[in-house]
Amino acid sequence: MMKYFNANKVNFIIMSVFFLVIGIFVIAAAERYYAYKETLQNLRFQKTQLLALQQDLDMTTNSIEQIKKEQERFKEILFEERDVPAFLDGISGSAQKSLVYIMEMKTQQFNQVPVPKSISDSNMRPGQASQGAQNQAGYNSRDEQAKLSDMLTLASMPIHFKIHGTFNAIVNFLGSIENYRQLLTVSNVEISTDQNYPQLICEFTMDIYSLKKFRDI
């Protein structure tokens, strides 16, 4: 072998192979390192994305919870279905105390409280509001969609009263109604006389309010 190669040549070959193999080792290790680094970078990006998504969802969920709590608080000043008989009993009691005779009391079904377009457009003015209340065609167009869900809406049950009593008794009676803890409204008040003056006849509509699911209305 020595005849054909000298030590330097063979050493050169050995060193070349040596460095080649070392180079392969280093390249293999570097390749693994960069692959790991790339995966890690990707992982960090995905984790950031996940965190942002999670935060968004948490915020959304919190908002929902907040709205639910608001609704619960709102419910406290509204009527439940089960409260209605007791309320009507209470009304009868108030009438007796106020020396008012209830000639007629007709209840109707709960109906969604209409929202006049003027209010939903956020350009509500008090004068327009009362006009808009009559405009049933101007209701929020999204109602139909909302009805398909379990979402809550404010529903009112109109109760038509016809009472008989003196002017003072009627005023006292209306005053006692207004002092009720729960939300109610009195509208279409009409007072008229008959032959038994000073006894008067008063007709009015009282709406009591409750939160109802769209599907239940």
Partner 1 sequence: MKAYLAIEVTDHKLRYVVIEKSEKMVHATRAGVSNLTLDPSAQGALTACVRDIIAKENLDIARIFLTVNCRDTVIHQLTFAKMSKADLDVLVHGEIEKIPAFAEKAFDSIYREQESENPAKSKVIFAAMSDKLLQYIINEVQQTRIPCHELEIAPLNLTGLLTSADLTNSIQSFIVLNEHATNLVVFENGQIKYLYTTNTGTDGMYPFNSVGQKQGITLGWAEELKRVLKSYSLENKKSIDKIWLLWDKEAAPKFDVYLQEQGNFSVKALDLSQEWVTEPINPINLLPIVPAVYYFNKIQPAFSLKQFFNTFEFNDLITKSLLVSALILAIVGVISGGMILRFSLLEHSAFVQLKDTQKKIAILQEKSPEIIDLKNQYDESRQQLLFQATYVKLLNRMSWSEVLSEVASELPEELSLTSFKVDDSGEVTFTGEAFTMGSIAHLLRQVNSSVILKNGKFNYLSEEVVKNKKVFRFGILADLRLDDQS
Q: CB 35 → partner 1: shortest distance, Å?
A: 6
> In angstroms, what is the minimal distance from the CB of 26 to partner 1?
7
**Are residues 171 and 180 in contact, defined by beta-carbon separation less than 8 angstroms?**
no
For the bound state, the minimum distance from the C-beta of residue 61 to partner 1, rounded and expressed in Å, comes to: 6
Cβ-based neighbours of 176, under 8 Å, separated by 6 or more:
94, 97, 98
Quote the CA–CA distance of 90 and 166 in Å, as a whole number: 20
> Least distance (Å) from partner 1 to the CB of residue 21?
6
CB of 216 to partner 1, least distance (A): 14
3-state secondary structure 95-141: HHHCCCEEEEEEECCCEECCCCHHHHCCCCCHHHHHHHCCCHHHCCC
Apex CA 114: angle with CA 113 and CA 118, to 5°? 135
Sign of the torsion formed by the C-alpha atoms of 131, 136, 138 and 141: positive
CB distance 99 to 169 below 8 Å = yes
CA-angle at 181, arms to 178 and 183, nearest 5° = 70
Nearer to partner 1, 1 or 85 (CB): 1
In whole angstroms, give the CA distance from residue 47 to residue 34.
19
Q: How far is the CB of 174 from partner 1 (least distance, A)?
A: 4
- What is the separation of C-alpha 57 from the centre of its chain, rounded to a whole number of angstroms? 16
